[in-house]
Amino acid sequence: MRFLSVFGRYVIFMSRVFSRPEKARIYLKQTILEMESLGFNSVGIVIIISIFIGAVITLQTRYNLENPLLPLYIIGLTARDTMLLEFSSTMVGLILAGKVGSNIASEIGHMRITEQIDALEMMGVNSASYLVLPKIIATMVFNPFLTAISMSVGLFGGWMACIITGALPSADYLYGIQYYFIPFYIVYALIKTVFYAFIITSVSAFQGYNVKGGALEVGRASTRGVVFSSILILMTDVILTQLMLA
């Protein structure tokens, strides 16, 4: 019952977010600013994490596939498909849920408790739309780039691991990551990323927008934003995988 009522309020909130903007030009400007603060500022963390995960996936595969019958390039191939299919979209999605989700929930929650949202409403601005729509568009447009960056950097990280540790000849790795390449995997990952961006932004914004009370509640809302969007990302992952790859 409680779930239904929260879901109902979420739907009403989203219908306000997607109502027609007062001034398109201002929304466009906001969207560009949000791309910088929510998207561009996450490039660093995505690169760092992807390099290490690319490396560790390659090493793990190498040490756990101790079978002389399997050709060595299989390791590069496995690392590539893991990055492309799951890591660069879903893991990066979870990390962004933590970084971007908590940022959005606490920013909007702070605006709620300091009456800035009331101030917007009193000016006749649709506060839900003004605050949230630019963030949703910005992340849905920008996050696929983050995923693409993660894919290439991750594969590079795997290659570096081969060179530095000598666990696998560089040539085998490079052959493996090009072997039997399916371009649709990239499309599949980018589509998932767009869904995840929508989930992270809308769920965290909804949590922040409905804060009542003080700083403590803002903290709680930000935690809830991260937890709920993470769970929803994994549920969506299962559904989309079944729909697109089955």
Closer to other proteins at the Cβ: 20 or 238? 20
- CA distance linking residue 27 with residue 35, whole number of Å: 12
Closer to other proteins at the Cβ: 130 or 198? 130
Closer to other proteins at the Cβ: 180 or 212? 212
- CA distance linking residue 16 with residue 103, whole number of Å: 21
Radius of gyration of the chain (CA): 21
- CA distance linking residue 43 with residue 239, whole number of Å: 27
Whether the Cβ atoms of residue 66 and residue 169 lie closer than 8 Å to each other: no
Q: Which one, of 139, 147, 138, lies nearest residue 46 by Cα? A: 147
Residue 23 has φ and ψ, to the nearest 5°, of -135, 110
Q: How far is the CB of 120 from other proteins (least distance, A)?
A: 8
Q: What angle is formed at CA 229 by the lines to CA 113 and CA 95, rounded to 5 degrees?
A: 100
Closer to other proteins at the Cβ: 71 or 214? 214
Whether the Cβ atoms of residue 92 and residue 49 lie closer than 8 Å to each other: yes
Stretch 100-139: interaction string toward other proteins, x if CB under 8 A: ----------x---xxx-xx-xxxxxx-------------
Closer to other proteins at the Cβ: 22 or 70? 22
| Size of the residue set binding other proteins (CB under 8 A) | 15
Count of residues making up the chain: 246
DSSP state of 181: -
Q: How far is the CB of 79 from other proteins (least distance, A)?
A: 42
Stretch 57-96: interaction string toward other proteins, x if CB under 8 A: ----------------------------------------
Q: How far is the CB of 78 from other proteins (least distance, A)?
A: 46
Closer to other proteins at the Cβ: 119 or 171? 119
Q: How far is the CB of 51 from other proteins (least distance, A)?
A: 33
Closer to other proteins at the Cβ: 130 or 196? 130
Stretch 12-41: interaction string toward other proteins, x if CB under 8 A: ----------xx--x---------------
Whether the Cβ atoms of residue 131 and residue 111 lie closer than 8 Å to each other: yes
Q: How far is the CB of 215 from other proteins (least distance, A)?
A: 13
In a 10 Å sphere around its CB, with 0-12 CB exposed, 13-18 middle and 19+ buried, how is residue 110 labelled? middle
Give the interface with other proteins as residue ranges (CB under 8 A): 22-23, 26, 110, 114-116, 118-119, 121-126
